[in-house]
Amino acid sequence: MHPKELVTSTFRQRFGKEPAFVALAPGRVNILGEHVDFNDGFVLPAAIDRATYIAFAPAASQRSTLVAADFGEEASFTLASIPTKTNADGAPLAEWAYYPAGVAWALTEADLAVPAIDAVFASNVPQGSGLSSSASIEMAFAVAWQTLSAVEGTGWVLPPMQRALLGQKAENKYVGVNCGIMDQFASACGVADKLLLLDCRSLEWQTLPVPEDVAIVIADTSVRRKLTDGEYNKRRQACEDAVKILSQHLPNVRALRDVSVDDFNRLSDQLPGVVEKRARHVVEEIERSRRAIPLLEQGKIREFGQIMNECHASLRDLYEVSIPELNVMVEIAQSLPGCLGARLTGAGFGGCTANLVEKSVAEAFATELATQYERKTGLKPEIYICKASDGARLM
């Protein structure tokens, strides 16, 4: 059943009424610029046509009730119980509930009204896949609460980027994952048939074309990972350590974005081994993103694809967030006809690869990629031929 039908039918069964609204927020795939958003770099994601859907209506009391239809689980909280991560009855919140509760907390921290809500949500963004299922939940609930605030007469309206920033705050300060802004930005601000170029320092952004004859193929290894396990935070800390050391030699360095490749090469022996590797990936990846912009603008998609391949090698060897299954998926993809570029996407340690493929052979590419991957790993992958989509919105 499609998530939209699932959330509306489940809402009727659970609450005995029709939902007042249905909203959606897409997942995202990052095409280039991996692990640089918290280093003030440049990223090139796209919202995809897979999303979290939420059916919702005002609650009759001060108690919000959320149903995660994919899990068959339920949570409830009041504004008073949110800061302690507890249900309205005092029991600990389920981990999946941290994301909507975190958005409610971030909204209250911004002095915005958060009406009590009855809501059912479900998603066809695979969890733990590197496609930002958590950001899509956050942005769907941000749209829901903005909508209900108007119904309740306490109306506030935030532009998409502001909703993205509140979602990032929720994930950083409430959930406890030190993510950058990219995931929430792409889910909130997506534009159909376009890549998004975001300057993570200024938050200025623009769209870049996806050639009509190119498909975005996402290959899910079926290996799952959890960002809250701490590896993401360790790598972020290594980048911060590098900035502290390099800023002693380079004036005005606030983030690795401020370090050129030449300066990094000159000073790299000042960094501890692991810190040097992590920081080198980031410095060189930011430079790759800069190089990629004119290539997309000029339609040089093969040259752009080669930069994607370089990114994967760096994530594998320097940032060390790849795993054997991701490497196998990328190696197979790069060997197949019609593949322009392939790399792991998202945080790593499992999840998906992103592939740019000639649209005329995308179906054959997906079939052969799945066949060879299953033969080599014994795992059955999911392959999605996707298109760039619009961002979070009411339906």
Which amino acids are annotated catalytic? 183
Is the distance from CB of 385 to CB of 361 less than 8 angstroms?
A: no
For the beta carbon of residue 86, count every other beta carbon within 10 angstroms.
17
Give the Å distances, CA to CA, from 99 to 54, 66, 176, 289: 13, 11, 10, 30
Q: Which residues contact 227 (CB under 8 A, 6 or more apart)?
A: 177, 179, 347
> Cβ distance 51 to 125 under 8 Å?
yes
As a whole number of angstroms, the distance between CA 367 and CA 363 comes to 6
Structure token pair of residue 372: 């060879």
Backbone angles phi, psi at 201, to 5 degrees: -90, -55
Other C-beta atoms closer than 10 Å to the C-beta of 166 total 24
Rounded Cα distance, 382 and 217, in Å: 10
Do the Cβ atoms of 191 and 179 come closer than 8 Å?
no
Integer CA distances (angstroms), 367 to 98, 148, 228, 361, 374, in order? 37, 44, 33, 10, 11
Choose among 310, 237, 316: nearest CA to 275. 237
Distance CA 222, CA 384 (A): 13
Q: How far apart are CA 276 and CA 161, in angstroms?
A: 33
